[in-house]
Amino acid sequence: MFHKEGNTSILIAFVLTVVLMSIIWLVPIPQWAQISLSVIVIVFLFIILQFFRNPIRNTILSDTTVVSPVDGKVVVIEKVTENEYFKGERLMISVFMSPINVHVTRYPITGKIAYSKYHPGKYLVAWHPKASEENERTTVVIDHKNKHQVMYRQIAGALAKRIVNYAKENESIIQGNDSGFIKFGSRVDVYLPVDTPINVELNQKVKGGESVLATF
C-alpha cells in the first residue's frame, strides 16, 4: 500500500525504469554492463516504492496516551522554551526519520485542531539545533478533551523538499489517522506539558500511530 502523496513520483519512477531498461538492453554494450545498469535502475525504483509505502497501523485509541506521529528514532527528550504558540516551557520529544523510514505523519491524540500553520524556511540537516526554528516546517496544536494541548511540528531536513499537512483549524481528528507526509527524510517534534510522564528513551525506535511516547 502506497501513500497518495507518492502517486506522481511512483508513476515517474516507473516510466523512467521502463525507458532506461529499454535503452540499456537495446544499446550494444557488454552483457555485464547491461546487468549492472539494470540492477541500479531496479534498486532506484525499489527505493522510491519503499519511501512512499503506507503500512496499516493498529492504533489503540486511548484518551490517556500520546502516540508517535511518525516512524523513526527518538533523538531528543528535553524541556525547551516553545516560542511560536505556547510561549513558555514544554517537554519536547523529537523523532528523527531516515530516508528508509515510513514518512506518513499521524495524529498523536484525538481532539480538535486549535492551530495549524506552515512556515517556509531553510533546509538544515534535521538534527541541527536550529532546525525546529529555521527550517521549513508546519506547526499543529491539538486540543485534548482533558484540557491539555499537544503540539507536533513537521520539520524539513536537508533532503526533504516538501511538507504536506492535512490539519485544518477547528477540525475534529482521531488519534493515529493520517495527518500529512514529509518527502525524503526529516524529523517531527512533539511538545507536551512539562509534567507529562514519558514512555520512551533516547535512541529508541518508534512506530507512527502505535508506539506510546507519553501518558496523561
SS (HEC) of 137-149:
EEEEEEECCCCCE
Catalytic status, residue 186: yes
Residue in 108, 113, 129 with CA at minimum distance from that of residue 190: 108
Q: What is the C-alpha to C-alpha distance for residues 209 and 179, in angstroms, rounded to an integer?
A: 11
Angle of helix 31-51 relative to helix 7-26, nearest 10 degrees? 180
Q: What is the C-alpha to C-alpha distance for residues 121 and 152, in angstroms, rounded to an integer?
A: 17
Grid cell locating 121:
524556511
Residue 80 phi/psi, 5° resolution?
Answer: -135, 165
Set 68, 94, 179, 186: catalytic member: 186
List the catalytic residues.
Answer: 186
